Structure 1
Amino acid sequence: MALYQHYLGNVVSKPPCKMTNANMYGFFIEGQLKQIQAYLDSTLNTVEIENTHFKALSKYLMLTFTDIEKMVSTNPQYKDAGWSQETDIIIWVPVAKMVKHKVDQIYFYPAYIVVNNLYALLNGTLTWGFNKYFSNTFEMPAIGGEPDKFSLTVDAFKTFSADSTLKPHQIFELNMVEKGEAKSVSGVAEIIKEAIELISSSTESIFDFDWNAIKQSLHQLVSPEINQILFKQYPDGEAQDALYQAIIHSPSKVDKVHSAAIYTHKYQFNMQHLDSFPLDEMFGISTASQQPLLPFNVLFDFSQDAAIEIAKN
């Protein structure tokens, strides 16, 4: 394996990195298991691991809007280079790693990511393998603000045709339609436990999971880190074959929780189909309005360690 060459002027730094005052708002939106599983089969399950495959836990997906006040590399070579603000908007797929048809571990798979920071886009894509896209057109509240409106606009082709041009389109929005209360909770672990309860209560299930075993394994997911799994790949010069293709584990360690709350507010989620980003086809999210479940907010500091390769083709 050749040594990676860090060009002078290259924005790629080295992990780990630390994020301070990450203000995350989250919602659970409904997709369809068939499409979600097809997405896993076309990504994670293309990497062969003996007696192992990945299954979607539920039709529910977690959508988060996170404003990170300060992001900095803590690698000695880069720790004094400077810091930046970052905003991440992510659709997460709750995933079970199945070994010999039994649940081995639970992950959150950040399957669709939009960021507002080119350094974060390049570092996240090249080093960790996050599937990131760029946009700085979005709406979300600041720390302590009223969580009443969220939206994301991306440069995209609404329809693929010879006459189509790349231009901004709002892909989805969430609006508060009924104000409720904010119930304080102890932290990320309690929110994840509520999420697993929600997921396990789903009336639609195409898989037979031992939910007691899954709930008992929650410590793997939330303490002391949030387990993320990634599908990392790079194309050849014709974008036909993969020069590199692997499954990556990327743990996020929660360093400190400043505050956390679950809302009883009611929201309306609306999404439109874009041929560039067909979230309805990718995850089965309806273009009809829906009410997201388990809205929450957590303000915390976390660290992102180096990515760990689980397997590669």
Structure 2
Amino acid sequence: MNNNLPEYQHYLSNVVSQPPCKMINANMYGFFVKGEISKIQAYVDSTINKVEMEGVRFKALSPYLMLSFTDIEKMFSTNPAFSNQGWSQETDIIIWIPVAKMVNNKVDHVYFYPAYIVVNNLYALLNGTLIWGFNKYFSNTYEMPAIGEVPEKFSLTVDAFKAFAPDATIAPHTILELALTKKGDSRKVAGFGEILKEAITLLQLSTESVFDFDWNAVKQSLSQLISPQIDQLLFKQYPDGKAENALYQALIHSPSIVDKVHSATIYTHEYQFSIQHLASFPLDQMFGISLQPQKPLLPFNVLFDFSQDAAIEIAKNN
């Protein structure tokens, strides 16, 4: 406990609960979709690189982003003070940026930065945003397969402004879709480790990367994820009353500990992925994802249990 800070008040009706928390039967489908390295890096620079760390900068590894749809059957706090409150279901749809922590221009560590997140659970939205600093938005309008179903269709609809204008009104719009176009084979693998080995090969072979990485250092950093632990990097900030200055702005590390892998599969299915430009969430401008349909790479599925530990502050702006 930091004695220089006032104690956080868990007053009656406050839904914030203390970590860690546990997720059971997290059914994750993942794909790698292509953006533009310059726009991805610009997004990284406008968020996590805004937190000052001497000699440290974060660089996007590749023009490829990981898109995941994860249905979590059961989520609950394991903190003794909150573990008897109950549990809830949660669905997360996330665009991840693989980033390298560069210390004096050398790869020091690799993180996954969940840059765009939509959840269907207000409890998860509030706790994730307030405690960890996840950049979460809410929607309960989405499509994804249940455990054991053929992964044929995925979609996400959000309340958003299609275009900004004085007379514009917020309305539901389908922001992204994936559809199976050609059924292939499935290959069982041991877990995240094998998937990440193929993913890093995909990232390394991306020809548009403008950075000269030491890929042996990248692979060495990623090898610890076979343990497995997924290291997430977050940009946490809260605005003042005018939304002009940040009352708090920090770089956060949030490890997800994989407790058990029930099954892991890599597919050779072919999909068509498409997005729609929305002024509220311009994925084409944020990450350089083309408005033209594309074929995502390395579709996979992992069914697992994991724990989310407390957020760790790496650095903050004063």
Superposition TM-score tier, normalisation by shorter sequence: over 0.9
Preserved CA contact (<8 Å) 1:262 1:294: yes
Preserved CA contact (<8 Å) 1:13 1:78: yes
Preserved CA contact (<8 Å) 2:108 2:217: no
Per-residue CA deviations over 1:264-289 (Å, capped at 9, x if unaligned) read 00000010100000000000000000
Alignment partner, residue 212 of structure 2? 208
Decide which of 166, 176, 179 is 2:180's aligned counterpart: 176
Per-residue CA deviations over 1:233-258 (Å, capped at 9, x if unaligned) read 00000011000000000000000000
Alignment partner, residue 57 of structure 1? 61
Decide which of 224, 241, 244 is 1:240's aligned counterpart: 244
Alignment of 1:20-99 (within 5 A): 20-99=24-103
Alignment partner, residue 19 of structure 2? 15
Alignment partner, residue 285 of structure 2? 281
Alignment partner, residue 190 of structure 2? 186
Decide which of 2, 6, 30 is 2:6's aligned counterpart: 2
Preserved CA contact (<8 Å) 2:193 2:228: no
State the identity as a percent.
Answer: 73
CA shift in 2, pair 1:102/1:216, >3 Å: same
Question: Are residues 1:166 and 2:170 paired?
Answer: yes
How many residue pairs align between the two structures?
A: 313
Q: Secondary structure at the match of 1:260?
A: strand
Hey, what's the Cα distance between the residues in 1 that align with 2:96 and 2:226? 15
TM-score normalised by the chain length of structure 1: 0.99
Shift of 1:221: 3.4
Hey, what's the Cα distance between the residues in 2 that align with 1:193 and 1:309? 29
Per-residue CA deviations over 1:6-25 (Å, capped at 9, x if unaligned) read 12011110000000000000
Hey, what's the Cα distance between the residues in 2 that align with 1:217 and 1:284? 27
Hey, what's the Cα distance between the residues in 2 that align with 1:182 and 1:11? 41
Decide which of 98, 109, 116 is 2:113's aligned counterpart: 109
Q: Aligned AA for 1:221?
A: L
Per-residue CA deviations over 1:31-52 (Å, capped at 9, x if unaligned) read 0000000001000111100100
TM-score normalised by the chain length of structure 2: 0.98
Q: Aligned AA for 1:93?
A: I
Higher mean C-alpha deviation, range 6-15 or range 133-142: 6-15
Per-residue CA deviations over 1:159-206 (Å, capped at 9, x if unaligned) read 000111011000010000000011000001111111111000101110
Shift of 1:215: 1.0
Hey, what's the Cα distance between the residues in 1 that align with 2:185 and 2:224? 30
